Amino acid sequence: ALILLREMATRGLNPDVITYNTAISACGAGEQWELAVSLLRKMSTKGVRPDIVSYNSAADACAVAGRYREAMSLLREMPRRGITPDVVTYNSAIAASASGGKWKIAVGLLREMASTGLAPCLISFNSVIDACAKGGQSRVAVNLLKRMPTVGIIPDVISYNSAIDACAKGDQWKGAIGLLREMQAVGVPADVVSYNSAIDACSKCDQWETAVGLLDEMRAVGLKRDVISYNSAIAACAKGRRWNEAVNLLGEMRALEVTPD
């Protein structure tokens, strides 16, 4: 992308804001947060005024690279440049907080949105739940999930999956399974990630039999078990000192053409 951007100049073509934004997001995808930020700076000097997408993209590039501080400082810089943060801006900031392990900041940003008159959307809630998961706050995560319908947002598969992951990371295997059953009951079909997260929860809580049971259930409901499903179930057996079951699962992977890693 950067090569093409340079090539434009040699051909007398003028990059516009979308050209730069696309290049910034390409840097983000390539985990080159510094390049993303330097393009953001450079476009101004070339007479192309960064817009909200420019900032959101550069901030997200920082977030993806785990540069929480840099992401936040870009987002805080926006108002000074006359750009009003939007829902995507906040969602990115929440995601940056999540990867920085700052669940309280994520929750604070959700409140800040509302107080600014921006309505949090499905992704906002999902991102805060993820931040709580990464911060080991399963109770807060589940409370947020429960609160979503009260503001008119119906939790989707990612909401549930993030909350199940929060239970896994908080050693709440019963909570994880409860949510897995709940989503099925309310018409949000569980997917491979839902089961994988629930199996991980069982593994962390020394529930190897339940973990293996969920793996079997995946087959029964027609979900394609992947390397993560097996790794988690094998880890559960290992923790439970069930070496025989672990080796059997390894063999089963091969038979199903899931390549062990």
Partner RNA sequence: AAAUACUCUUUUG
- Where do contacts with RNA occur on this chain (CB under 7 A)? 16-19, 21-22, 24-25, 51-54, 56-57, 60, 64, 87-89, 91-92, 94-95, 98, 121-124, 126-127, 130, 133-134, 157-158, 161-162, 165, 168-169, 192-193, 196-197, 200, 203, 227-228, 231-232, 235, 261
Contacts with 99 (C-beta within 8 Å, 6 or more apart), sequence order = 63, 64, 66, 68, 134
Q: CA angle, corner 51, sides to 46 and 54, nearest 5?
A: 80
Residue 91, CA distances (Å) to 26, 53, 104, 157 in order:
19, 13, 15, 18
Q: How many whole angstroms separate alpha carbon 59 and alpha carbon 92?
A: 7
The crossing angle, in degrees rounded to 10, of helices 68-77 and 33-45 is 20
Report in angstroms how near the CB of residue 108 gets to RNA at its nearest: 16
Measure the CA angle with vertex 86, ends 83 and 92; round to 5°.
105
Give the shortest CB-256-to-RNA separation in angstroms: 16
Q: How far is the CB of 203 from RNA (least distance, A)?
A: 7
Alpha-carbon gap, residue 131 to 180, rounded angstroms: 20
CB of 22 to RNA, least distance (A): 5
Q: How far is CA 121 from CA 55, 100, 110, 187, in A?
A: 20, 21, 10, 20
Q: How far is the CB of 184 from RNA (least distance, A)?
A: 15
Residue matched to tokens 């290992």: 238
Whole-number minimum distance, CB 122 to RNA, in Å?
6
